[in-house]
Amino acid sequence: MKHLIVPLIAAVLVLGNCSTENPTFPWVQGGFDEALAKAKTDDSKLVMIEFSTDWCSWCKRLDAQTWPDPKVIEVAQQHLIPIEVDAEKGDGIELAKKFRIGGYPTMVFLNAEGEEVDRIPGYLPAEDMVGELTRIVNGIDTYPTLKARLEENPNDPGLLIQFAQKVENMSGLEGAVSYWEKVPDLAEADDNQKALSRFKIAQHQVEQSASPDALKAYISQNADSPYIPEAYNNLSRYYRRAGDGEGEARVLQEYVTFMEQRGTVSTQLYNGYAWRMAELEKNLEDALVKSAKAIELLPETTDSASRAQVMDTRAEVLWKLGRRDEAVQIIDQCITLQPEDEYYAKQKMKFQTTQAGEVAAGSGA
């Protein structure tokens, strides 16, 4: 497929006698088959499928802020055949399975043969979307381009990693692991590249064996790896999917301790840990300590909404500990910070009228 090279920022010329109507994003009516048939008649264009759902807030934000942008529209009009697919309705369910869609929104780009060349996961603001769309329609670092480059330079570790990441993004870790396994044996691979590839291999072993041992071994044997935080996050997700609250709480506590030893703590780290412990009702005394540290680390310039969110975590932990009056005092401060937010009023009512555990019991959880 040949594509005209388009500039990264397309110029919009305003000429006399031009239509005053605002341009709209050129969605193609009909389904996947119709879009692919249209691409076969014009192979200079790529099919773009936006996978979304009714409940996806970031999809709605794309509709409101990104797709109406004139520069985004211009690139799409010239180089794309875009269709919208609800991943939870009709043919969209099978299409989402076919393209291994794991989150919304996801934009998948296909050539005239229906072969995926790239994808954009998640929301992007208009300026970033223009850059990504332009990269893809120009064939820059797309799957076919990287594959061809790798065939010419099979021992380039940076290129191999870039291709492995592309394949993983499109096909999952199972499809990419054979490329990750090659990296540690390359003479030119540096320590960081080897550490990343070994983490990916361990992650794959966990997926295949349904055992966390490979990630545990990676963490214990690679203490200096920059991918240890990601390994801990993967390990905690393993226990969460398995419904093992004790295991998840233990791993998250070990992760926080590890980050403290590294000296890389933050409000986000402590607050996330404390909130999850409140949900699990594990390590609550430790969670209370960490929630205090989360508040202490807030910059003085923190906006009231963000400050209230962190304070709410401490209130939730106090409530789970049965310290209702203290929880109400803190939630009152949250209400002062965010008087229009009904969430905090509901939290206060919960604290005043229920004991920890009654909410879950009453919902049948």
Per residue of the chain (365 residues), give pLDDT as tens. Answer: 444 444 444 433 333 344 456 789 999 988 899 999 999 998 899 999 999 999 999 999 999 999 999 999 999 999 999 999 999 999 999 999 999 999 999 999 999 999 999 999 999 999 999 999 999 999 999 999 999 999 999 999 999 999 999 999 999 999 999 999 999 999 999 999 999 999 999 999 999 988 999 999 999 999 899 999 999 999 999 999 999 999 999 999 999 999 999 999 999 999 999 999 999 999 999 999 999 999 999 999 999 999 999 999 999 999 999 999 999 999 999 999 999 999 999 999 999 998 765 544 443 33
Q: Provide the number of structural domains found in the chain.
A: 2
pLDDT at 6: 45
Closest CA to 1 of 192, 204, 138, 193: 138
Whether 64 is covered by a domain: the verdict is yes
Whether 127 is covered by a domain: the verdict is yes
pLDDT at 357: 59
* 39 and 128 belong to one structural domain: yes
Longest dimension (CA), the chain: 71
pLDDT at 326: 97
Whether 98 is covered by a domain: the verdict is yes
- Residues 11 and 184: their CA atoms lie apart, in Å, by 45
- Residues 173 and 165: their CA atoms lie apart, in Å, by 9
CATH number at residue 109: 3.40.30.10
* 181 and 116 belong to one structural domain: no
Q: Domain ends where: 186, 214, 242? A: 186
CA atoms within 13 A on the CB side of 176: 25
* 105 and 47 belong to one structural domain: yes
pLDDT at 21: 65
Q: Does the CA dihedral 352-353-358-361 come out positive or negative?
A: negative
Residue 301's DSSP bridge partners are none
* 82 and 120 belong to one structural domain: yes
Q: Domain ends where: 140, 175, 205? A: 140
Whether 62 is covered by a domain: the verdict is yes
* 167 and 118 belong to one structural domain: no
Whether 124 is covered by a domain: the verdict is yes
Per the structure, the complete domain to which residue 164 belongs is given by 141-186
Whether 282 is covered by a domain: the verdict is no
Amino acid identity of 100?
A: R
56 φ/ψ sector (left φ>0, alpha ψ -120 to 50, else beta) = beta
* 66 and 145 belong to one structural domain: no
Tokens representing residue 188 in the block = 């030119």
* 81 and 168 belong to one structural domain: no
* 158 and 105 belong to one structural domain: no
The pTM for the full model equals 0.78
- Respond yes or no on whether the N-terminal peptide bond of residue 229 is cis (omega within 30° of 0): no
CA distances from 69 to 10, 20, 128 (A): 12, 15, 11
Please check whether residue 176 is in contact with residue 184, taking contact to mean a CB–CB distance below 8 angstroms. Answer: no
Whether 71 is covered by a domain: the verdict is yes
* 40 and 121 belong to one structural domain: yes
Closest CA to 50 of 138, 131, 133: 133
Please check whether residue 316 is in contact with residue 278, taking contact to mean a CB–CB distance below 8 angstroms. Answer: yes
Amino acid identity of 136?
A: I
Strands 106-110 and 116-121: antiparallel
CA distances from 149 to 140, 143, 146, 154, 179 (A): 11, 10, 5, 8, 14
- Residue 107, φ and ψ in degrees, nearest 5: -105, 120
- Residues 268 and 294: their CA atoms lie apart, in Å, by 7
Whether 158 is covered by a domain: the verdict is yes
Q: Domain ends where: 85, 108, 140? A: 140
